[in-house]
Amino acid sequence: MRALIFAALSVFLAGSALAQPAAPTSEDVHRAFQETDRNGDGRIDREEFHRRAVEVFYFLDANRDGYLVVGEIAVIPIEAFRAADRDGDGKLSLQEYLNARFKDFEAMDANGDGVVTREELERYVRSHAPRR
């Protein structure tokens, strides 16, 4: 279960962190939070999260076919991929990817106020990062 939830962090940690399935550092989390918090208010709302998730989807879509397949998102466990692949066609559409990521947003939003704070993200990372 930890590996499934940890996959959600790909929305925040797009780029070099995606190349490594290791737990993100505090610096990685801080940088990703700042990049996602577009208006700089110290909170990530659903719109900011959505924009980041769309960017990550297209960043990961290496062959630019509009779908993600297991090979394009190797850091996400196969179980998480299958759970997100609602139609079972072996690939994730943008909508399937977003649906899965918004479930993760809700899990990160510990107090249910519709935004993710840096503290909520850090707590989420600490409690869901893979154990070594």
Contact 84, 95 (CB under 8 A): no
What integer pLDDT is reported at residue 66 of this predicted model?
96
Task: Write out 91-114 in H/E/C secondary structure.
Answer: CECHHHHHHHHHHHHHHHCCCCCC
Return the bridge partners of 44, or none. 116
Contact 91, 68 (CB under 8 A): yes
Reading the block at residue 128, the tokens are: 């869901």
Parts of the chain with a pLDDT under 70: 1-23, 74-75, 129-132
What integer pLDDT is reported at residue 73 of this predicted model?
79
Domain ranges of the chain: 2-128
Task: At 61, give phi and psi (nearest 5°).
Answer: -75, 75
What integer pLDDT is reported at residue 21 of this predicted model?
52
Helical pair 26-36 and 118-128, crossing angle rounded to 10 deg: 140
What integer pLDDT is reported at residue 18 of this predicted model?
38
In the block, residue with structure tokens 């939003």 = 109
**Which CATH class, in words, describes the domain spanning 2-128?**
mainly alpha
